[in-house]
């Protein structure tokens, strides 16, 4: 495929006595949708936190688009085109939808054009909500708002931490459709518990178990791997 966008080597993170990540290596190419799965507590969010500057790893290195970015601050990373959404949505609940997006625009080095802004708002179906207080939106709308807040920054890589978490099955289907369209022109890293999301979107999947990389490869092969089924999918989550 094309250029290496994200290059993680030997990434480790401990919390006191808990080893949350043990020497993880991972490569993501530009244009590739990479899925990360693993049981609760396996280190998925910690991995994204260490990449996006929300946590400092104990050891290891992170390269992004050819530059070393280990332990850089989130706002610095947003400026080089690396951003993320959160497992529990982070928006300014007291402010309106338009104000939330305006704040995200301030951080952007290369914000979208007014035409693209309007297009994104229509596509994410939040244009009619601009003057609504963000805290009063449904979770589904809040997830779409958070996506808009990142996409106005035109990131090179967007890391999504359980983007369908808490959504109903029809909302999950709609979000998969949005992400399938997003995938056509963005590079996406996606943590998910819903295997349908991984099956439909991921080009490659990485399985974490207790902070270690258990498997990596083609989603159809990985999801058919007996070890993965035994340890992770055995619970009927597939």
Is residue 140 within 8 Å of residue 163, measured between CB atoms?
A: no
Q: Residue 46 or 187: which CB sits closer to Mg ion?
A: 46
Task: Compute how many residues bind ligand ADP; rule: CB under 6 A.
Answer: 11
Rounded CA-CA distance 45/41 in Å is 9
Q: Specify the DSSP class assigned to residue 3.
A: -
Q: Does the footprint of ligand ADP cover residue 237 (CB under 6 A)?
A: no
Q: Residue 42 or 142: which CB sits closer to ligand ADP?
A: 42
The piece of 14-22, 71-79, 112-120, 172-180 that touches ligand ADP (CB under 6 A) is 14-22
Cα separations (Å) of 184 from 26, 31, 33, 204?
22, 8, 10, 15
Q: Specify the DSSP class assigned to residue 154.
A: -
Rounded CA-CA distance 200/190 in Å is 12
Q: Residue 26 or 124: which CB sits closer to Mg ion?
A: 26
User: x-or-dash pattern for ligand ADP, window 58-87, by CB under 6 A?
Assistant: ------------------------------
- The distance of closest approach from Cβ of residue 42 to Mg ion in the complex, given in angstroms and rounded to an integer, is 8
15 makes contact, choosing from Mg ion, ligand ADP, none, with CB < 5 to 8 Å by partner type, with: ligand ADP
Could you say which of 18, 103, 109, 177 contacts ligand ADP (CB under 6 A)? Answer: 18
130 makes contact, choosing from Mg ion, ligand ADP, none, with CB < 5 to 8 Å by partner type, with: none
Sorted by sequence, the CB contacts under 8 Å of residue 115 that are 6+ apart come out as none
Q: Does the footprint of Mg ion cover residue 45 (CB under 5 A)?
A: yes
- The distance of closest approach from Cβ of residue 198 to ligand ADP in the complex, given in angstroms and rounded to an integer, is 14
Tell whether the torsion through CA atoms of 113, 119, 123 and 128 is positive or negative.
positive
- The distance of closest approach from Cβ of residue 57 to ligand ADP in the complex, given in angstroms and rounded to an integer, is 12
Rounded CA-CA distance 26/225 in Å is 20
The residue whose two tokens read 């996506």 is 147
The residue whose two tokens read 């080597």 is 9
- The distance of closest approach from Cβ of residue 60 to Mg ion in the complex, given in angstroms and rounded to an integer, is 19
| Buried/exposed 32-47: b ≥16 CB within 10 Å, e otherwise | bbbbbbbbeebbbbbb
Q: Which residues bind ligand ADP (CB under 6 A)?
A: 15, 18, 20, 38, 40-46
Q: Which residues bind Mg ion (CB under 5 A)?
A: 44-45, 87
């Amino acid at each position: 495929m094309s250029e290496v966008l994200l290059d993680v080597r030997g990434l480790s993170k401990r919390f006191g006595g808990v080893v949350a990540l043990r020497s993880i290596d991972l490569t993501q190419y530009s244009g590739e949708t990479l899925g990360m799965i693993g049981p609760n507590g396996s280190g998925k969010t910690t991995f994204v936190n260490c990449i996006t500057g929300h946590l400092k790893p104990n050891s290891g290195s992170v390269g992004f688009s050819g530059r070393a970015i280990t332990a850089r601050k989130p706002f610095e990373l947003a400026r080089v085109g690396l951003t993320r959404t959160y497992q529990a949505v982070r928006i300014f609940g007291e402010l309106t939808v338009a104000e939330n997006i305006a704040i995200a625009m301030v951080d952007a080095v290369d914000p979208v054009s007014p035409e693209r802004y309007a297009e994104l708002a229509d596509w994410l179906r939040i244009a009619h909500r601009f003057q609504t207080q963000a805290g009063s939106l449904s979770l589904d709308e809040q997830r779409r708002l958070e996506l808009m807040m990142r996409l106005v920054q035109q990131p090179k890589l967007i890391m999504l931490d359980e983007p369908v978490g808490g959504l109903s099955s029809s909302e999950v289907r709609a979000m998969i459709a949005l992400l399938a369209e997003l995938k056509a022109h963005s590079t996406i890293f996606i943590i998910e518990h819903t295997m349908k999301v991984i099956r439909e979107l991921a080009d490659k999947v990485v399985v974490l178990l207790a902070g270690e990389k258990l498997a990596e490869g083609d989603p159809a092969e990985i999801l058919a791997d007996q070890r993965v089924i035994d340890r992770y999918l055995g619970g009927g989550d597939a």
